[in-house]
Amino acid sequence: MERTDAATLVYVSYGWRDFGTGHLDEVCDECGFDSRCAEFDVDLRTAIAALCHLAGDSRAGSRPEPGTWSADEYVAHCLDQVGEAISVIDNGRPEPKAVVSGLEDADHQVKSLLSRVAGTDSHRQIDVGGPFPASPAWMLAHLLHDLEHHVLDIRRGYAKLGLERVAGRTIER
């Protein structure tokens, strides 16, 4: 993913592998996400709850450094991703994105999306013009990875802000 607005560059490396499960699985050695272990109905809403909690922090509007998004910016991106996943799964294309007005709305819409996906073939192929077809299961995995990865990004950002101008000692082992 690449995003360039407000002179900000954010990169996340996404990787999909064929582990012999019959479809590509998404695994990230930075945040530990592994789509083979995902329980979408629980994990997606847990990730949204974590974002909700983090978004309530008084530092949510602060960037930890000029080139790193604030929590508010990460949350806006996550809402965008929820909208895109809904559009791809429901309409077979990423645009126009479903409108998601906030994290509470994201939770409602994801809950409803999960029930719609449960009633269909979650591995049906959707051609979104990428290097390989998507599927509802693939979209949910990718969305979950995005949300969980950015929960970690926000936590890192807060830690960085918390360490600013505070004296301390570090050791290396």
Name the site residues for Zn ion (rule: CB under 5 A).
Answer: 28, 30-31, 33, 149
Terminal-to-terminal C-alpha distance of the chain: 34
Tokens of 83: 């909208």
CB of 27 to Zn ion, least distance (A): 9
Residue whose CB is less far from Zn ion, 28 or 128: 28
CB of 36 to Zn ion, least distance (A): 14
Tokens of 92: 């077979």
In sequence order, the 6+-apart residues with CB closer than 8 A to the CB of 81 are 143, 146, 147
Exposure b/e, 95-113, CB count within 10 A at least 16 = b: eebbebeebeebbebbeeb
* Residue with the shortest CB distance to Zn ion: 28
* DSSP 8-state secondary structure symbol assigned to residue 17: E
CB of 10 to Zn ion, least distance (A): 13
User: By C-alpha distance, which of 37, 41, 43, 50 is closest to 112?
Assistant: 41
Residue whose CB is less far from Zn ion, 4 or 13: 13
Residue whose CB is less far from Zn ion, 32 or 92: 32
Residue whose CB is less far from Zn ion, 14 or 99: 14
CB of 34 to Zn ion, least distance (A): 10
Whether residue 124 contacts residue 135, with contact meaning beta carbons closer than 8 Å, is answered with yes
Residue whose CB is less far from Zn ion, 63 or 149: 149
Amino acid identity for residue 87 in this structure: S
CB of 124 to Zn ion, least distance (A): 26
